[in-house]
A and B are shown apart, each in its own frame.
Chain A
Amino acid sequence: MAMAASSRLLWASRAAAYLRISTFPRAFSTVLKDLKYADTHEWVKVEGDSATVGITDHAQDHLGDVVYVELPEVGVSVSQGKNFGAVESVKAASDINSPVSGEVVEVNEKLSEEPGLVNASPYEKGWIIKVKLSDSGELNSLMDDGKYSKFCEEEDNH
């Protein structure tokens, strides 16, 4: 549902660009309610002691078309705030930091063939890794959707 909203927004601004209608720059990116966010623009969805991690709509929008995702191996450890991979766009490479500590139990293999899923569906099909949490207390240091939205606004207007 929030997914559809963000896709509609993207479509709208692209259609507008093609028709050369002025639109306001996207005033906000999609931020989902039930996720937690890191200040390096990763999101985490927790279900029990399992977490799914990806980059946010704000991040993919700033990056541009993703052309490559460097994934870690299954079984490696990740630490909160530490780099575990990278996302490459046409214009830049960007580190991905893990918002949580634990063990990587699954990586999104689809991203090898379709790195663009990170742009099209940053919160669903574009998920990057799944982690078995080692310390659920760490979640308290992450932002909720409200705080993260505000954080993005402040960064963009800086």
Chain B
Amino acid sequence: MRGLLACAALARRAASAAPARVRHLAGAAEAAEAELKKTALYDFHVAHGGKMVPFAGWSMPIQYRDSIMDSTVNCRANGGLFDVAHMCGLSLRGRDAIPFLESLVIADVAALRDGTGTLTVFTNEKGGAIDDSVVTKVTDQHIYLVVNAGCRDKDLAHIEAHMEAFNKKGGDVKWHIHDERSLLALQGPLAAPTLQLLTKDDLSKMYFSDFKLIDINGYSCFLTRTGYTGEDGFEISVPSENAVDLAKAILEKSEGKVRLTGLGARDSLRLEAGLCLYGNDMEQHITPVEAGLSWAIGKRRKAEGGFLGADVILKQLQEGPKIRRVGMITQGPPARSHSELVSSSGESIGEVTSGGFSPCLKKNIAMGYVKSGMHKAGTEFKVVVRGKSYDAVVTKMPFVPTKYYKPS
């Protein structure tokens, strides 16, 4: 989940492996600006120096006045506030909300304690990933989930079609799409201390993946202790009419240490944390097993199946997948998406799916897929960037240690 892309990803995509011509970005962005959707914080971003770019049909800030590098480092040192209102939050309610969702995802939703969530994957009939998502069991009859902005139409059509079929067979589940709410992400060591100043609830008892309905600054919010950076932090779903005021309150309470942070830094942060970006590191033809997310398949689900593509996935769990996602540190220029990976004997063994320069490690980091056998930490091979080969070594992820708030 966590749909997000660095800015010249738009240029990267347009040009596939070819280098982006920076000077064309300004024109393209403005032309598209007219039809783009705006979040509740659009004017707020512009007022704060946000450089707005098109992303998944929305006009989003790629960065503000500070550089992507500074912004990334600041998030880990202090904190970052991100507008992720382009993502799609929805609630499933009804007697059969849980069995319904379980027919579409790999998680053991039933086993979740009330008020906790988990990362999961929506699969298709071939076991491939339709999208990744954080799903939360609020109660036995209420599930709250967030899906990627870029997959919104696809996901909602998929869920709706299956919901209709499910209800026709006597099932009881309804949905509500939370377009009346805006999602903000507050990440970093100052996230909890800052948020605590805005709520009476004791946040020290709320651990990673926990969910609460909570008043923050007087607004009725959905709060999840989760994020896309590897840092401790929260995602806050606030009524859209209060979004700007909440953002202002958070920034003020932090005395300027928590900074508005854009999608450029968000991409660097999630890559440093070893988290997949749907559309790059996960796609329709990649299974959760290949993506290294077997841990997200519930134990009972592994035994029983009952989700789309279960036969393919369970077979891969038994026999091992043919390709695997790996993290890499590379030399030379940062390896970008679609860079080829080649063994020392010259054989093509895979490709990069995400890559960039890590502001925190000051090294090139990347994720990609290699054929099984070449995936163990320490394995060396080459990455081809603009026609030249550079050293690459498989590295365990996360690249930067995570700081999730867990009970001691």
The residue from B8, B19, B48, B357 contacting A95, defined by CB atoms under 8 A apart: B19
The residue from A23, A40, A88, A91 contacting B264, defined by CB atoms under 8 A apart: A91
Chain B residues 70 to 84 lying within 8 A of chain A, measured CB to CB, are 70
> How many B residues face the partner with a CB closer than 8 A?
40
> How many A residues face the partner with a CB closer than 8 A?
31
User: In the complex, which residues of chain A have a beta carbon less than 8 angstroms from the beta carbon of B384?
Assistant: none
The verdict on B12 contacting chain A, using a C-beta distance below 8 Å, is yes
Q: Are A90 and B66 closer than 8 Å at their CB atoms?
A: no
Contacts A20-B256, A25-B49, A88-B357; A70 near B333 (Cβ below 8 A): yes
Contacts A41-B23, A68-B357, A155-B23; A92 near B66 (Cβ below 8 A): no
Closest residue of B by beta carbon distance from A60: B22
The verdict on A64 contacting chain B, using a C-beta distance below 8 Å, is yes
The verdict on A35 contacting chain B, using a C-beta distance below 8 Å, is no
Q: Are B333 and A90 closer than 8 Å at their CB atoms?
A: no
Complex alpha-carbon distance, A59 and B22, angstroms: 8
Contacts A19-B256, A68-B357; A93 near B336 (Cβ below 8 A): yes
User: In the complex, which residues of chain A have a beta carbon less than 8 angstroms from the beta carbon of B20?
Assistant: 92-94
**Which of the candidate stretches A10-18, A44-52, A125-133, A140-148 sits at the interface with the other chain?**
A10-18
Complex alpha-carbon distance, A23 and B48, angstroms: 9
The verdict on B233 contacting chain A, using a C-beta distance below 8 Å, is no
User: In the complex, which residues of chain A have a beta carbon less than 8 angstroms from the beta carbon of B19?
Assistant: 86, 92-95
Q: Are B12 and A92 closer than 8 Å at their CB atoms?
A: yes
The residue from A41, A91, A94 contacting B62, defined by CB atoms under 8 A apart: A91
The residue from B25, B49, B333 contacting A93, defined by CB atoms under 8 A apart: B333
The verdict on A158 contacting chain B, using a C-beta distance below 8 Å, is yes
Complex alpha-carbon distance, A91 and B262, angstroms: 12
Chain B 191-234 per-residue mask, 1 if CB under 8 angstroms from chain A, else 0: 00000000000000000000000000000000000000000000
Q: Are A65 and B68 closer than 8 Å at their CB atoms?
A: yes
Complex alpha-carbon distance, A14 and B69, angstroms: 13
Q: Are A17 and B26 closer than 8 Å at their CB atoms?
A: no
Closest residue of A by beta carbon distance from B62: A91
Q: A23-B65, A65-B68, A92-B8 are in contact. List 15 more A-B contacts (CB 8 A).
A: A18-B256, A59-B22, A59-B23, A68-B364, A86-B19, A86-B333, A90-B6, A90-B67, A91-B6, A91-B9, A91-B68, A92-B12, A93-B19, A93-B334, A93-B336
